[in-house]
Amino acid sequence: MDPSKTLGVTPVDVVIEREPCYLLEAAELAYSLVNDIPAEKLSGTGLYCIPAEAIQRIRREACAGIESHQTALDFYFRQVTVGAEGEEVSCLGSCMLYTALKSFSSDAAQMCRELTQNWRAMRSRGLRITSISDNSLNVEEQDAGGFSSLAQEMAELPVPQSYRMQLLEAFSAFDTYLDQLLQLLTPIIGRLPALLEPWVRQAARLQEKWSQFFLENSPEEFFLQRSAVVCDNCKTVTMRFRYFFSDMALGRIWSKDGTILFHLGVGKEPEPRRAEPCSMADEEFEALRLMGNPARARMLQAMMYRTMTIQELSKALGLNPGSVHRDLNSLFCAKLLVLEAVRGKTGYRTDYEKIKALTERFLQFLEQNKGILWQKPEE
């Protein structure tokens, strides 16, 4: 990587790895098994995606002898509806594997040790649980020695009470429950290297594409445009390929450590997306719809000139934190917000330039047939 490439204000090294993170891949298979998710959902449409028929075979062989209704497996991977209006699903296993994720490893046991160390360090320094997403608890690390109570932090999460107790139980004895999770997944992990080997080999070309892309393009521009991410202290961005649910890209930002992680589906390619000059994509119409809501418009206005956390925005506007989290997630997914990790705190800021460009494109869309005389339909 060209050391002159920067993300924010510090030189950044972008690392692209195609060796699977077997612990996370095994968890995805277990999740799909427990929740009866069809193989087509684990596949994708890209050139490097594993076809659904092959995924069906891989899952059958990797999970041989494992019952989908097994009590322990169900405890970790049964999906639970979360969110103020039940708009997302979560499971305990994913939360444990992604919440404290600060590095990838192909060695599952080593990765579990690192996760345990990370969580222990986060607890000792103090933390704030700001929200819950489909794959993790969203956490802000506090200054060294800060007090935090897991029970208090989880009390406001928009989740069923039974799931809240499940999360509290597991995260209070993180090492014990993570060891149990590893034992459950070990048979799958042991079989995956041979089963995935042809697809990992095929992804070498995709790895080359990404490497070449970052030699020729600014990481700062890419992550801002494609992921709406800004980190003022970023030193390393690690992108590790994922082979199941391959159209997804899950990210973790650790501002204090200067690290950004992406578990990047092989269905994602580096070519920038381009819209036709006189047409608008469905996502753009959805973004316009979101902006037309009075509450969301007030949120965009409040974040115009400063980065705000969920708690700060809720307090400033007198809104329910659960509703704010849901609306921020919708606005962020519509690329109307930038996620900023500044001075160790992660928050959101309105992307003025993106909104300006969107409204200008909408005006162009309205005016594209100017000068055409429309005939009144015959009755």
Residues in contact with 184: Cβ distance below 8 Å, sequence separation at least 6, in sequence order: 30, 72, 73, 76
Say if 268 falls within a structural domain.
Answer: no
Q: Are residues 63 and 197 in the same domain?
A: yes
| DSSP H or E stretch at residue 229 | strand 229-231
Q: Are residues 74 and 191 in the same domain?
A: yes
DSSP letter string over 73-102? HHHHH--EEESTTS-EEE-HHHHHHHTT--
Place of tokens 């891949």: 25
Q: Are residues 309 and 183 in the same domain?
A: no
Say if 47 falls within a structural domain.
Answer: yes
Q: Which of 244, 76, 109 is nearest to 190 (CA)?
A: 109
Q: Are residues 165 and 57 in the same domain?
A: yes
Instruction: Give the total residue count for the chain.
Output: 379
Q: Which of the residue ranges 57-71, 321-335, 347-361 has the most confident prediction, judged by mean pLDDT?
A: 57-71
Q: Is the pLDDT of residue 190 over 90?
A: yes
CA dist., res. 321 & res. 300, Å (int): 16
Say if 377 falls within a structural domain.
Answer: no
Q: Are residues 296 and 197 in the same domain?
A: no
Residue 277 confidence (pLDDT): 47
Residue at which a domain ends, from 140, 173, 202: 202
50 — phi, psi (to 5°)? -75, 125
Residue at which a domain ends, from 202, 223, 244: 202
Q: Is the pLDDT of residue 137 over 80?
A: yes
More confident of the two residues 369 and 367: 367
More confident of the two residues 357 and 258: 357
Residue 111 is part of which domain span? Answer: 21-202
Say if 97 falls within a structural domain.
Answer: yes
Residue 61 confidence (pLDDT): 97
What strands, in cross-sheet order, belong to the sheet with 13-17? 13-17, 236-242, 259-265, 249-254
Residues in contact with 311: Cβ distance below 8 Å, sequence separation at least 6, in sequence order: 128, 130, 321
127 — phi, psi (to 5°)? -150, 160
- The count of structural domains within the chain is 2
Say if 251 falls within a structural domain.
Answer: no
Q: Are residues 49 and 189 in the same domain?
A: yes
Q: Is the pLDDT of residue 378 over 80?
A: no
Place of tokens 């684990």: 42
Helix, strand, or coil here: 253? strand
Read off the pLDDT band of 4 (50, 70, 90).
very low
The 8-class DSSP code of residue 51 comes to P
pLDDT tens-digit profile of 44-81?
888 999 999 999 999 999 999 988 778 999 999 999 99
Domain with residue 311: its CATH number is: 1.10.10.10
Residue at which a domain ends, from 181, 202, 223: 202
More confident of the two residues 204 and 286: 204
Q: Are residues 182 and 58 in the same domain?
A: yes
pLDDT tens-digit profile of 110-133?
999 999 999 999 888 888 888 888
Mean pLDDT score, 226-242: 77
Say if 243 falls within a structural domain.
Answer: no
What the block records as the tokens of 367 is 């005016």
Mean pLDDT score, 146-167: 88
pLDDT tens-digit profile of 260-307?
888 999 999 887 544 444 567 778 888 888 888 888 999 999 999 888
Q: Are residues 197 and 310 in the same domain?
A: no
Mean pLDDT score, 22-26: 97
